[in-house]
Amino acid sequence: YAIQLVGKWYGVSYTGNMKDGFTITNKEKAPWTPMIPPTRNIKVTKNWKLLTAEKPVDKIEVELYKDGVATGKKLVLTK
């Protein structure tokens, strides 16, 4: 069980009984630290496997997508 007072979180514990009374203790919890998501390095290459030496285009553009949504991070491959 936890409560929040004035922007701070406290864990709550109860001890005691009906005869002797109860003690309720609120102990401040350490601030929550958000997790840092893992990152990956992605290598992108293009290779033309053609019968002739002439490439169909001089360059291609690739774009990184995250969860199906374009991130706007683009890379032009010319080699």
All structural domains of the chain with their residue ranges: 1-31, 44-78
Position 1 scores a pLDDT of 66
Question: Which DSSP helix (H) or strand (E) runs through 27?
Answer: strand 21-28
CA distance 76 to 62: 6
Position 47 scores a pLDDT of 82
Residue 74, pLDDT > 90, answer yes
pTM of model > 0.85: no
| Assigned token pair, 79 | 């080699």
Q: Max alpha carbon distance in the chain (Å)? A: 95
Q: Read off the pLDDT of residues 23-71 as tens digits, 9 standing for 90 and up.
A: 999 998 888 788 888 888 888 888 888 888 787 888 899 999 988 999 9
CA distance 70 to 68: 7
Q: What is the sign, positive or negative, of the torsion defined by CA atoms of 70, 72, 73, 76?
A: positive
